[in-house]
Structure 1
Amino acid sequence: MTHFRTLPVSVKVNGEIVGPTDVPAGLMMIDFLHEYLHLTGSRLGCGQGICHACVVIVDKPDGTSEEVRTCITGANFFHGKTIRTIEGHAKRNEAGEVVELSPVQQKFLEHFSFQCGYCTPGFVNAATVLIERLKRQPVARGEVEHTITEALNDHICRCTGYVRYYEAVKDVVMTTPGLVKDAPKEVLQGSAA
């Protein structure tokens, strides 16, 4: 009889502590989310860490966050960490019904950003990480487009919906107070001379 090695995983997902749960060593996080937690919003796209449809947000103790690909990262890597999946963005009532979308989700709807929607969870997570970073470190107005491109560049959309994703994220960035800083007045006056 073959015995598979298991390791415990305890993780805070969308504000709730899950586990510890013994899972097979080497189980990918995407499988843990889907099979153990029934959170199927993160998508298994390429299975090789290239398309970024599967990313979740890892919240670090210092208040920063980053995207982590779940199709190539084992569930055990997440032990003791705090993560957010696509299911954790919208505000829900006690019955679990969505009562308010996040600003990123709302702008994606307003801009008709997605077609098939398969890559959308990854784009929502990437845009959310960007918005949170800009709240801590605003970007100069002239750097907005480059900053958005850099943040979304690794995400692949097979329907080629990139323009609408970028437009929606730019809309969030430009309409959320405090994310964009204007050039100092002396720089503006110097360029007018």
Structure 2
Amino acid sequence: MSIEPSKTRPLTLQINGRARGPMDVPEDMMLVDVLHEYLGLTGTRLGCGQGECKACTVIVDDERGPREVRSCITGAHYFQGKPIRTVEGHAKRDDSGELVELSPVQQAFLDHFSFQCGYCTPGFVNAATVLLERLAKSPIDADEVEDAITEALDPHLCRCTGYVRYYQAVKELILETPGLVSGSSTEGAS
């Protein structure tokens, strides 16, 4: 009995504002594997391989707005024509690729020492980024901030139990970023 190789077909992806491809990719290959094996983008993590831990989360910017998609259980060909952001796309870099500035979420996580091993961090960065972008379009009242953070971050798993610092970092960032909170005063909310 011989094992037949997977059928391939061309795939072009829009990742972090840049077209990548076309490249021949097996039809059954998950996006996380394409990111790692074809594109050298290893920031997106393969954790559980079942979409439960969300370390593999990428952001898709389509007609539904920014949203999280689990790349370990979603085939790469699903992403054809959809703008994707990985954790590598958040920080600002100069023309030579040198780091110029971290994103506000990344900086907040560093400022709060939010992670220990860092394996889950890319998923948390993407989740917090999606939350902040949604709040920029539709601000919430200060008394809703904690619930919004819980809803956004709770699906993500951290084996080192860094949850409290992730939450604190995101809460402080939301409350200190103009335009994300409406209505009641944010004084004393942190």
Asked if the contact 1:8/1:79 (under 8 Å) is kept, the reply is no
Deviation for aligned residue 1:61: 3.6
Match of 2:26 among 24, 35, 43: 24
Asked if the contact 2:6/2:28 (under 8 Å) is kept, the reply is no
Distance 1:139 1:84 in 2: 25
Q: For the aligned residues, what is the CA RMSD? A: 1.3
Moved more, 174-183 or 49-58: 174-183
Matched residue of 2:172: which SS? helix
Q: Report the equivalent of 1:87.
A: 88
Q: Percent identity?
A: 63
Deviation for aligned residue 1:4: 3.0
Q: Please list every run of 5 or more consecutive structure 1 residues that lacks an aligned counterpart in the other structure.
A: 185-193
Please give the TM-score of this superposition, normalised by the length of structure 2.
Answer: 0.93
Deviation by residue 1:84-141 (Cα, 9 ceiling, x = unmatched): 0000000001111111000000000000000000000000000000000000000111
Distance 1:32 1:3 in 2: 16
What one-letter code is carried by the residue in structure 2 that aligns with 1:104? V
Matched, 1:9 2:11: yes
Distance 1:17 1:61 in 2: 19
Matched residue of 2:59: which SS? strand
Deviation by residue 1:161-185 (Cα, 9 ceiling, x = unmatched): 000000000011001000001249x
Distance 1:17 1:171 in 2: 35
Q: Report the equivalent of 2:173.
A: 172
Larger Rg: 1
Matched, 1:137 2:138: yes
* CA 80–173 in structure 1, closer or farther in 2 if over 3 Å, else same: same
Matched residue of 1:72: which SS? coil
Q: Report the equivalent of 2:43.
A: 41
> Aligned pairs, how many?
183
Q: Report the equivalent of 1:121.
A: 122
Q: Please list every run of 5 or more consecutive structure 2 residues that lacks an aligned counterpart in the other structure.
A: 186-190
What one-letter code is carried by the residue in structure 2 that aligns with 1:52? K
Distance 2:6 2:119 in 1: 33
Q: List structure 1 segments (4+ residues) > 2 angstroms apart after TM superposition.
A: 1-4
Please give the TM-score of this superposition, normalised by the length of structure 1.
Answer: 0.92
